Amino acid sequence: MAGTIPSASPVAPPGDSSDRPLPWRGSAEDRPDLPIPPARQPLLHKGLMRKRWRYVGFYGEEVMLCAGVVRIGPFSHTFWSVWDRTADDGAGRVHEHTRLRPGGPEVVLDGSRIEIRTDRVRASLHFGECEPIEVVSPSGRGWGWTRKRAGVPVTGEIEADGRRFEVSGFGVDDQSAGYHARHTAWFWSAGVGTSTDGRALGWNLVEGINDSEVNSERAIWVDGVPHEPGPVRFKGLKAVFFDGETGEPGLNFEFGGAERRRHDRFGLIRSEYVHRFGTFSGRLDGIDLDSATGVMEEHEVVW
């Protein structure tokens, strides 16, 4: 897995014809002059393969779900994972699958419509509106774009092994694309919850990718409004320190026993990945948490 996580350089990558210095963070109307989705992106840029992915997560009290579609150059795969937190007399049960071969789609991410279609697990969810943050960051000799939303209203139905859940809660939506450095490694956390004074919270925290001191993808949503915290430091997959925190970390993670773990070797592509569901306690950049659910992730990839 990743050791020391390198930070992204806060300078524009040479040779890119952008009218905005990178890193950039702003609205869709003020983007840099780069091929950012939905614009067409060439397969290669300066010898780097195009990478595109979308991840969605629903983090509820009874059930949690994540699903994604990933494309690296000409290669693609889908994945999904459902954690039934109350199955087996409260012990919980995980259902998950990664599809690497062509065939009928198991995961459909079509705008606000999210579906999982398998024999064991089916889900039909609607992701509502939530103010996004949008970022373009340098990445070695390339660059990466991302659009994040946390605290997204989610409604719908999840069925796993005959157990059916009518869900109404909150989740996250992560869209990313670009020409990331050949070797990339990061820690990432996303979640939703409430503060002790009743405010609705969502977050997207990262170390190692899109993590410049300013104009990063770090974001905390308070009652639906995002703001950017300072740099964070991960204590593995156990906790997150916010800028200025010493001693005990602010945000603590309790692993629920449900995870996705991959060790992939596909020619030029190598990936080590751990993604864990659980609950959080402590403080979110100084905001005291009442309850919170979400994920912690570590990913090291050569692509």
pLDDT for res 1:
53
Going from N- to C-terminal start, the domains of the chain cover: 24-302
Concatenated DSSP letters for 216-278? -S-EEEETTEEE----EEEETTTEEEETT--SS-SEEEEEEEEEEEEEEEETTEEEEEEEEEE
Residue listed under structure tokens 């983090």: 59
CA distance 187 to 205: 8
Share of the chain above pLDDT 70, in %: 93
Which residues, including other chains, have CB under 8 Å from residue 84's CB and lie 6 or more apart?
62, 63, 92, 93, 94, 95, 160, 161, 163
CA distance 272 to 270: 7
For residue range 69-101, what is the model confidence (pLDDT) as tens digits? 999 999 999 999 999 999 988 888 999 999 987
Length in residues, the chain: 303
For residue range 130-139, what is the model confidence (pLDDT) as tens digits? 999 999 999 9
CA distance 277 to 70: 20
Mean pLDDT score of the chain, rounded to an integer? 93
17 pLDDT more than 90: no
40 pLDDT more than 50: yes
* pLDDT class of 103 with cuts at 50, 70, 90: low
CA distance 83 to 66: 9
CA diameter of the chain: 59
106 pLDDT more than 80: yes
CA distance 202 to 284: 10
Q: Which of 186, 278, 201, 192 is nearest to 236 (CA)?
A: 186
Q: Which of 130, 84, 136 is nearest to 257 (CA)?
A: 84
pLDDT for res 127:
99
- Whole-angstrom CA distances from 169 to 172, 183, 204, 282, 299 are 11, 36, 17, 21, 27
The answer to whether 57 and 82 are in contact (CB under 8 A) is: no
